[in-house]
A = this chain, B = another copy of it.
Amino acid sequence: MTRARVISVDAMGGDKGPAPVLGGLNRALRESPDLRFILHGDEAELARFLRKRSFAALRARIELRHTADVVRMADKPSRALREHRGSSMWNAIETVKKGEAAAVVSSGNTGALMAMSVLLLRKAPGIDRPAIAVHWPSSAPHGYNTVLDMGADIRADARNLVQYAVMGAEYARINFGLERPRVGILNVGTEATKGRHDLREALDILLAVSAEDDAGFECVGFVEGTQMFAKGVDVFVTDGFTGNVALKTAEATAAFIRAGLREAFQHTVLSRLAALVAMTSLKRFARRIDPRRVNGGVFLGLNGAVIKSHGSADAVGFEAAVGLAARMAATDFATGVEQRLARINSMTAEERAQHAARHSTERGADE
């Protein structure tokens, strides 16, 4: 049994208790029968769930580790750190730290999960700040773009943004098999003169690196919110404040449209009929933007893969998160990132200045 096929699971963190967690593991196992799980939580409660006949195969692949303590959704990260060492979340992360598993999945409190992960796993070499990456539905052939940071930190300077870009590109390569992911920095316009100084500085560095053959990604420059669902840009880089607002705004837009369509369809007898007939079409589309399938933010930049599943995820959602954990566990994400960042840090001031000069010429005289 290689460590890379063992996944550590916080069975207690989600809004809906252990049921969707076990359902999700069961589904994941059907896809990948060689996975093994170390499950942290209330042993008696978990054992009761596992008695279900459909879980027979799953039982053989699970090691239960008991703890009664649980981090609650309302717990503040600092308090969780002080008072919930030994919780199912803490123990699940610690299992990765000890080298018994290669990735951890939890649908618990995001802030607490990040705080505990940073404390236990520590930041990876070359990384100043970890970031949360999500799959963003798009018209790309593989169906998703990658966006980061979604709120690990509300600030990001040029150096942070460059690290996010390198991590996001590596992540997109692993997850979507993209050979040379196209990376853009989210801004209020695509012109290189736009935006805060930090963004322009990050752009200069990324363009300079991306000009090299072995960069492993292509920097496409500044990109706008309008492009986030399109193909053409694989990785969107932004600070955690902007990313968080963008994600929540997109979710709210989809919910508003969903509610509006439902209401519109109920307006007349004929439209109610149409809705019935249309349901299949609508469901087909809904599957594509189903947040359960998109499910799973990934914490990048730690010594170990940490997958955050949505708090209200069901078995389908949790399965997606476990699949992501298995992919991350099977690859050496950290080494690729470390090497690229080392190259960036070793670029001479002269090399950067050359690129910067070229870009400021392209920008023209107007600022």
Interface residues of A (CB under 8 A from B): 76, 78-79, 137-139, 151, 154-155, 186, 188, 195-196, 224-230, 238, 240-242, 244-257, 259-261, 263-265, 267-268, 270-271, 273-275, 277-278, 280-282, 284-285, 288-289, 366-367
Contacts and interface: CB of A to CB of B under 8 A. Distances in A.
A277 B271 contact: yes
Contact of A241 (B188, B244, B275, B282): B188
A188 B289 contact: no
Given A245-B242, A265-B281, A254 B252 contact: no
A289 B196 contact: no
A273 B253 CA distance: 27
A277 B278 CA distance: 9
B271 A288 contact: no
Contacts of A280: 268, 270-271
B248 A267 contact: no
A278 B249 contact: no
B225 A249 contact: yes
A188 B245 contact: yes
Contacts of A227: 252
A78 B259 CA distance: 44
Given A155-B196, A261-B285, A278-B265, A250 B253 contact: yes
Contacts of A244: 188, 225
A281 B285 contact: no
Nearest to A247: B225
A242 B186 CA distance: 11
B240 A188 contact: yes
